[in-house]
């Protein structure tokens, strides 16, 4: 038996068993602080994930991709997080529903190939 070839097959099998891990993109943090998304605008690659983190002392926020026809997230209290992975290139504007109007709490994710 060709040992080198065998180990290659094992490695391939492991890779196939973990497609998500093998293809996982980067994680980018966006803070929710002082009624702002920081940064409010970021550019990421397809397959990357954005993690929103509430850095307030008391206020809660949410994340709503209204234009995608999705429901808003539940309320995110201090230190709570929300993650979303973006597979398709495009521009994804979003808002914090409770603070969109009064605080202009909006953001946009640009996803490139």
Q: What is the DSSP letter of 40?
A: S
- Give the dihedral sign, CA 29/34/36/42: negative
Give 33 or 46: the residue with its C-beta nearer to Cu ion. 33
Give 96 or 111: the residue with its C-beta nearer to Cu ion. 96
Q: Does 36 bind Cu ion (CB under 5 A)?
A: no
Q: In whole angstroms, how close is the CB of 44 to Cu ion at the nearest point? A: 21
- Torsion from C-alpha of 83, 41, 95, 98, nearest 10 degrees: 90
Per CB under 5 A, the list member of 99, 107, 109, 111 interacting with Cu ion is 99
Q: Does 95 bind Cu ion (CB under 5 A)?
A: no
CA separation for the pair 113, 95 (Å, rounded) = 24
What residue ranges bind Cu ion (CB under 5 A)? 61, 96, 99, 105
């Amino acid at each position: 038996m060709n040992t080198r070839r065998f180990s290659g097959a094992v490695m391939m099998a492991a890779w196939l068993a973990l497609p998500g891990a093998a293809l996982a993109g980067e994680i980018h943090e966006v803070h929710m602080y002082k009624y702002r998304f920081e940064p409010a605008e970021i550019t990421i690659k397809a397959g990357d994930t954005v993690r929103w983190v509430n850095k307030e002392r008391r206020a809660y926020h949410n994340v709503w991709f209204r234009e995608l026809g999705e429901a808003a997230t539940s309320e995110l209290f201090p230190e709570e997080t929300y993650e979303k992975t973006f597979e398709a290139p495009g521009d994804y504007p979003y808002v914090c529903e409770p603070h969109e109007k009064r605080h202009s709490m909006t953001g946009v994710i640009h996803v490139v190939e």
